[in-house]
Structure 1
Amino acid sequence: MLRYLFLTVTTLAIVGCSNEQPQALGTLEWDRINARAIASEAIVEIYAAEGDQLEKGQQILKLDTLLQQAKVAQLEANVSVAQWQLEKLRAGYRTERVTAAEAALNAATSDRVTKDRTYQRQLELRAKNLNSQNDVDSADNRYQSSVANEKKASEELHALRAGYRTEEIEQAQAQLTAADAALRYGKLLLSRYIVTAERAGRLDSLPFKLGDKPPTSAIISTLLAGDTPWARVYLPEPWLSQVAIGDEVSIKIDGRETTLNGRIRYIASQASFTPYYAMAEDNRARLSYIAEIDLLDSDAQTLPVGIPLQMVKP
């Protein structure tokens, strides 16, 4: 008898659960803007407190910039070196160096003339059989060497007057461009050591305190932005054929007798698992679809983020 009664109660419970109507439950949300630490440096300044209403661009906190400033100074020095190297190549060689090359060419020319006369004299003496062929050959070798030296001096002077090659100047220009790009990137990183509000909104969270050294990429501030909050709800599959993007719906919130008006702005195309609070225990595996709803009532701004809510079935 007791066993029969137990089975009857269990059956009724299952039937009751199976007849339970699905609900579109969710939470109230704001646009969250998370700022992350650009580097693992200590927080040296905090300019705002949690709950403050901030304007776009208003400073929130500052990380220690000592190390990054040193890097920027090094990059600035690299740019200066590259700039002066380029100016040097564009200006060409120093006038004193060109003058010295001219003097070297004149000396080489004079030496060639002298060696030529000596060689001619040796040829004349050989014709009269007053010297040996070895004397003629030695004079000829000295003359040919002087000719080569003159040509070398002439080429060096021509190169100095022509200046540096175009390829060398273009390479220096590329090095300057690379150094300047590295400097601009370093300054950009330095500017991000001061965290500012990307949009106007309310500062919701500052998870680290003054002096803390958050890890790189850790969230160091959270801003709630936007004119009004919005609702994220989980639509049961049977409701999809009854609603569409742009439809106006009603939203119930715990503790409020009146509903809020909203307009659906997004419905997921793929199903996701419904969170535990949206379904009974034996239906937790049921799939539903995320929807985002803009709240149209101005008094929704006073509601806290994360408050549970429910979309009224259309």
Structure 2
Amino acid sequence: MPDMRQTGTLLQAVLITALLIGMSGCEQKRLQALGTLEWDRVNGRAVASEPILEILARQGDLVSSGQPLLRLDGTLQEQRVTRLRASVQRAQWELRELENGFRSEQVAAAEAQLRAARQDRITREKEHQRQQKLLPSNLTSQQRADEVERAFKSAIAAEQIAQEQLSELQNGFRSEQLEQARAQLAAEQAELAYQQALLERYTIFAERAGRLDSLPFRTGDKPPAGAVLTTVLAGDNPWARVYLPEPWLSRLQVGSEVKVLVDGLEAPMAGRIRFISAQASFTPYFALSESNRSRLSFVTEVDILDDRALQLPLGIPVQVEPADD
């Protein structure tokens, strides 16, 4: 009987050891890089809150780069552009007027006014001199002499004003006025270009070739500004976004070949890592012990090098393993 008890104890110890080894193996197998199948998503957004006039493609269509997909009502924006075009034209004419200077007819008129003012000054100067000679002999009154003197001084001032006006026309506009006009024209042109660019964005184009995956609004809807109107799944092949366990970082890096497993596919698909995040998705509060490090995972993107991926639905779960496993 003691031999039987010893034999049972030994067998129990062997079974416990085997179970622990098995559990350890299961722990190792639980280190998996799991994630989902993704495509490059290119969203077209509403530039303004305006009604949808026309939808130019259907959900699921294959679209080419630059193909129009949807058009918003751009009536108000078109009016803004028209108003700015008129402002640019006005600024152009104002600048040209300053650059050309005054018309010859304006200069001729100013010259005639100067001649008339000079002749008036000469006439009043002679009358003033005559009054000054008559005043000592009492042949004129002091009041009359004062009136003539005031008229003479007014004629002098009028001649000076006419001379300055003619000089202004002959010299043209100041350089500062020209620079201000040029700056105003440049500002109007820049605003016009900006508003024209906005008007073009009232039509949503496919920025990349791919499949039109989402059209959340219908014709007549008025989505808010910034809302996603179209989503195109672009790229030659889908890719996988997975969470890479920390223990694998020593084996895998950008450029490493991996296997991509999907439920329903007997053979794994070939893949290549294109990106590994530098920061872990989980970081413990305390020192990184060995058990805690095994919980760290790093967002990783994997290019799938297999045409079978084209037939798989977006978001399907995938598992990534090192190619040499």
Aligned residue pair count: 293
Matched, 1:156 2:165: yes
- Mapping 1:219-258, distance limit 5 Å: 219-258=228-267
Give the corresponding residue for 2:274. 265
1:104 is matched with 113
Q: 1:42 aligns with which of 44, 51, 60?
A: 51
- 1:63 Cα shift? 0.5
Corresponding residue to 2:303 among 273, 294, 299 = 294
- Partner SS state of residue 242, structure 2: strand
Secondary structure at 1:242 match in 2:
coil
3-state SS, counterpart of residue 130 of structure 2? helix
CA distance in structure 1 between the aligned counterparts of 2:241 and 2:225, rounded to whole angstroms: 30
Partner of residue 4, structure 1: none
Equivalent in the alignment of 1:201: 210
- In the alignment, residue 101 of structure 2 is paired with which amino acid? G
Amino acid across the alignment from 2:31: P
Note the alpha carbon deviations across 1:246-271, whole angstroms, 9 max, x for none: 11111111100001111111101101
Name the residue aligned to 1:53.
Answer: 62
* Segment drifting more, 87-96 vs 30-39: 87-96
Instruction: Say whether 1:312 aligns with 2:321.
Output: yes
Give the aligned residue type for 2:96. E
In structure 2, what residue type is equivalent to 1:43?
A: I
Aligned-partner residue type, residue 182 of structure 1:
E
Correspondence for 1:215? 224
On the 8 A contact 2:246/2:295 being kept in 1, the answer is: no
Q: Any idea what SS the aligned residue of 1:244 has?
A: coil
CA-CA distance at 1:51 after TM superposition: 1.2
1:25 paired to 2:25? no
Question: Cα deviation per residue 1:112-170 (whole Å; 9 max; x = unaligned)?
Answer: 11011111212322354533455444433322221111011110111122222211121
Partner of 1:72: 81
Match of 1:93 among 95, 102, 106: 102
Measure how far apart 1:92 and its partner are: 2.1
Q: Which runs of no fewer than 5 residues in structure 2 stay unpaired?
A: 1-18, 284-291
17-26 vs 101-110, which deviates more?
Answer: 17-26
Contact 2:95 2:181 in 1 (8 A): yes
Cα deviation 1:2-52 (Å, max 9, x = unaligned): xxxxxxxxxx9xx95983622110111111101111111111111111111
Runs of 4+, deviation exceeding 6 Å: none
Q: What's the offset of the Cα at 1:97?
A: 2.8
**Paired residue secondary structure (1:220):** strand
How far apart in 2 are the matches of 1:42 and 1:258?
A: 49
Residue of structure 2 aligned with 1:171, choices 171, 175, 180: 180
**TM-score scaled by structure 2?**
0.84
Secondary structure at the aligned position of 2:69 is classed as strand
Task: Kindly provide the amino acid, as one letter, of the partner of residue 227 in structure 2.
Answer: A
Partner of 1:172: helix, strand, or coil? helix
Query: Does the 8 Å CA contact 2:40/2:234 hold for their aligned counterparts?
Result: yes
1:187 aligns with 2:196: yes
Return the match for 1:141 from 121, 146, 150.
Answer: 150
Query: Percentage identity across aligned positions?
Result: 52
Counterpart Cα distance in 2 of 1:71 and 1:42: 17
SS in 2 for 1:258: coil
Partner deviation per Cα, 1:201-240 (whole Å, 9 max, x = no partner): 1111111111111111000100111111111110111111
C-alpha separation between the residues in 2 aligned to 1:164 and 1:109?
A: 25
Counterparts of 1:247 and 1:66, CA distance in 2: 53
